[in-house]
Structure 1
Amino acid sequence: DQELVRTRPEDMPASPLPSVMILSFLRLPSHASCTACGTVMTVHIVERMASVLPASKRSMRSDRNTYVGKRFVHVKNPYLDSMDEDILYHLDLGTKTHNLPAMFGDVKFVCVGGSPNRMKAFALFMQKELRLEEAEEDIKDICAGTDRYYMYKTGPVLAISHGMGIPSISIMLHELIKLLHHARCCDVTIIRIGTSGGIGIAPGTVVITDIAVDSFFKPRFEQVILDNVVTRSTELDKELSEELFNCSKEIPNFPTLIGHTMCTYDFYEGQGRLDGALCSFSREKKLDYLKRAYEAGVRNIEMESTVFAAMCGLCGLKAAVVCVTLLDRLDYDQINLPHDVLVEYQQRPQLLISNFIRRRLGLCD
């Protein structure tokens, strides 16, 4: 006997089929017999029934994931269940003001990066790479009601800016993850693409992060919550990193490696730069620190990877960090590349992710 799970009638769209009761399913055949009377009933299956309803018609309790065999985005907050509305303030979106499943339910790939202009350029690039028919003017900022973050959608790809540093990306990730959850997105891959400073490697090298480490070269993200220090893991998805690395081999003249990424809270003193408004250490101490970082497996430095890895891992998202290096910090503190070279380097992570997404979607020639 199959288990039949009763569903509230208001959650189901109108059905052309006569029915004795409205059913959802675990693993239910298209016809089932009632164990009580033997009556054969036709079960009308609608996989994404809630997405056709206006968001204002549903409470947040109806957003629970009940489908089998799919990897959904999880939120680790029991208080969300008791909320009638969730306002994603910094994204200018909400569960009552927007039909999030209809807007975002088909998202499979999320790419985040610091620069708004770079994320718009990536969305336009993906539009061409995926051979979509929308005109360029159709790629509009979904978060236009706020100037905090910028979001663009093209097909199954969502591109979002996150600003600079852990606090900025943390706010964006909280609301992005809730958005994906409310939209009932499944099997989502999220990738941070950006720029970084290299350690002991040539400028232009693309680093795929295996583990994000802090300024002590430890694989952890420490956050003060109330008056406690909470430590979270920063390990990223190894299979995804390997898949990205294999994709890089298909691109000519594309130096790529897998290594540790160090995440700091500051661009200047926190990364051992000698050219900030403040400098409390010597050149010798700087070089000693960076050499020890290299010996610990660190190949590049940026300012977002630890919180990105920690939050994505806790919420069940397969995540990766892909950054190009713009200089070798053992040699320089300031970026002095010609403009055309800098632009080409900045496009390298986009090119790799485009190749990865097209391969996942079966669009590679």
Structure 2
Amino acid sequence: MSNFDPESSHDKMATAEPSPASSGTTLSCPCSLRRKSFVHIKNPYLDSMDEDVLYHLDLGTKTHNLPEMFGDVKFVCVGGSPNRMKAFALFMHKELRLADSEEDIKDICAGTDRYCMYKIGPVLSISHGMGIPSISIMLHELIKLLYHARCSDVTIIRIGTSGGIGIAPGSVVITDEAVDSFFKPRFEQVILDNIVTRSTELDKELAEELFNCSKEISTFPTLIGHTMCTYDFYEGQGRLDGALCSFSREKGLDYLKRAYNAGIRNIEMESTVFAAMCRLCGLKAAVVCVTLLNRLECDQINSPHDVLVEYQKRPQLLISKFIKQRLGLLDQTS
């Protein structure tokens, strides 16, 4: 493609600025005169059920007091890896300076091997596995959990890893638009024998707020861009290194270049269904992913382990700063 030029990118990039000092130790969100925004569901049958068993979370409306356990949740952070989400929970425990011990942070979903969940003050940290089917199952039960718990003004953020397109490995991408493999902002799902199409619009104000937070972090680049969500890690993302490959090297590279020209800056496998479901249920949502490689240069992730570990901490650092800013806590560098 003759109009492909990563160096001429007009991406909105963050620049480092001094961190402002603030005070306060409360873990309550600042008061507002606006009405509370509750999580809602799009299922007319749910309220008529005698009991709602959240099977994959090992929770239920009869077996657990969900409002007491989760009613104060304001921030939900989800990511693929159980270990990563446990690490994020421990990180947020330190950042929020909570009085209880780290040993008190237990996996709420320990009775199942599907997902893990940790609660740190007003923050939930939950794993969702890999791919659209896995995160979809988790989101159905998570949204019902927030609904039954009568949570209000909830912000939900997916933090994860991704492949970059035309940007340096280690860059953090804040998604402004989640698109499918045809570069369209939509999520298509087969329901019964129909294809249902849903919007993947994310909260623009939340994306801008996250981007503004990133300006205070000088250790890695952050940008706003489109994120492409695929159903597959290999052929679906134009890789040549899977067990199957049905296209030429030239065709795969041309596809990635066209994606770049369409405004796409990273590829992952969860953002479209995440955006669609959260939007329908009244949740302000964002996707923040670090890139582990530049797909225009290679297919395989071959950076040293310690480098990858450091990369994976970058979205967590940004989200921590965002949460502390929302809570009015003193900004600290971890």
- Is 1:173 equivalent to 2:139 in the alignment? yes
Instruction: Look up the match of 2:299.
Output: 333
SS state at 2:252 partner: helix
- Tell me the secondary structure at the aligned position of residue 77 of structure 2: strand
Task: Tell me whether 1:161 sits opposite 2:127 in the alignment.
Answer: yes
Gaps of 5+ in 2: 1-33
Q: Which residue of structure 1 aligns with residue 254 of structure 2?
A: 288
Aligned runs of 1:64-83 on 2, under 5 Å? 69-83=35-49
Q: CA deviation at 1:102?
A: 0.3
- C-alpha distance in structure 1 between counterparts of 2:95 and 2:315, whole Å: 14
Instruction: Compute the RMSD of aligned alpha carbons.
Output: 0.7
CA-to-partner distance for each residue in 1:68-122, whole Å, 9 max, x for gaps? 8100000000101211110000000000000000000000000000000000000
In the TM superposition, residue 348 of structure 1 has moved relative to its aligned partner by 0.2
Partner of 2:200: 234
Q: How far did 1:192 drift?
A: 0.1
Q: Match for 2:320: what amino acid?
A: S
Structure 1 Cα separation of the partners of residues 211 and 142 of structure 2? 26
1:121 corresponds to 2:87 = yes
CA distances 1:232-285 after superposition (whole Å, capped 9, x unpaired): 000100000000000000011220000000000000000000000000011000
AA aligned to 2:111 is G
Question: Which of 1 and 2 has higher RCO (CA within 8 Å, sep 6+)?
Answer: 2
Q: CA deviation at 1:133?
A: 1.3
d(CA) in 2 for partners of 1:88 and 1:346? 29
Deviates more, 1:251-260 or 1:71-80: 251-260
Distance in 1 between residues matched to 2:229 and 2:95, nearest whole Å: 31
**2: CA distance between counterparts of 1:120 and 1:344?**
16
Matches within 5 A, 1:121-270: 121-270=87-236
- Once the two structures are TM-superposed, the CA of residue 138 in structure 1 deviates from its matched residue by 0.6
Matched residue, 1:96: 62
Following TM superposition, by how much is the alpha carbon of 1:288 offset from its aligned partner in structure 2, in angstroms? 0.3
Please give the per-residue CA displacement for 1:304-349, whole angstroms capped at 9, x wherever unaligned. Answer: 0000000000000000000000000000100111121111100000
Q: TM-score when scaled to structure 2?
A: 0.89
Q: Which residue pairs with 2:265 in the alignment? A: 299
Question: Identity of paired residues, percent?
Answer: 89
Larger Rg: 1
